[in-house]
């Protein structure tokens, strides 16, 4: 319970800090760069990297990540490798999706017209159902 309260407190501090700053990317970017330098500059503390990574992913969900990582034994190098493989697969998937979209010839004007007609029908239906 103490960890959840601390996490909520830290989350509100981060939100307040981000809200008060003019440019949010300046507050987020250093953490990302710092994490990347950990991974690239081996040797590094793999458990800390994994904890930081999972905390960055799940802090909004208020999950006790530290307890989860400490209580379950796992191969930290394998987790880091899986994270990197997942990121690489995501990049490949995005590139493949872009290639597929670019390779398929389609009539953009027809698609736009259908989207507008669909929106008009939806608005008419909403108006009649009131």
Q: End of a domain among 56, 74, 92?
A: 74
Domain identity same for 50 and 101: no
Residue 59: the pLDDT is: 53
Same domain, 47 and 90: no
Are 52 and 97 in the same domain?
no
Residues 14 and 38 in one domain: yes
pLDDT at 57: 61
Q: What range does the domain containing 23 cover?
A: 1-74
pLDDT at 25: 45
Asked whether residue 67 falls in the same domain as residue 91, the answer is no
- Walking along the chain (130 residues) 10 residues at a time, the average pLDDT comes out as 45 47 45 48 61 62 50 64 75 66 64 79 79
Nearest partner of 65 among 3, 128, 1, judged by Cα? 3
Angle at 109 between CA 106 and CA 114, to 5 degrees: 95
Query: What pLDDT was estimated at residue 19?
Result: 47
What is the number of domains present in the chain?
2
């Amino acid at each position: 319970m103490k960890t959840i309260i601390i996490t909520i407190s830290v989350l509100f501090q981060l939100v307040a800090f981000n809200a008060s700053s003019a440019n949010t990317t300046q507050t987020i970017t250093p953490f990302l760069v710092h994490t990347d330098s950990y991974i690239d500059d081996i040797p590094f503390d793999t458990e800390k990297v994994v904890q930081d990574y999972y905390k960055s992913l799940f802090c909004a969900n208020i999950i006790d990540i530290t307890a989860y990582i400490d209580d379950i034994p796992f191969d930290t190098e394998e987790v880091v490798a899986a994270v990197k493989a997942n990121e690489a697969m995501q990049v490949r998937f995005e590139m493949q999706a872009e290639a597929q979209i670019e390779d398929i010839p389609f009539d953009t004007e027809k698609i736009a017209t259908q989207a507008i007609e669909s929106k008009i029908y939806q608005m008419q239906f909403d108006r009649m159902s009131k």
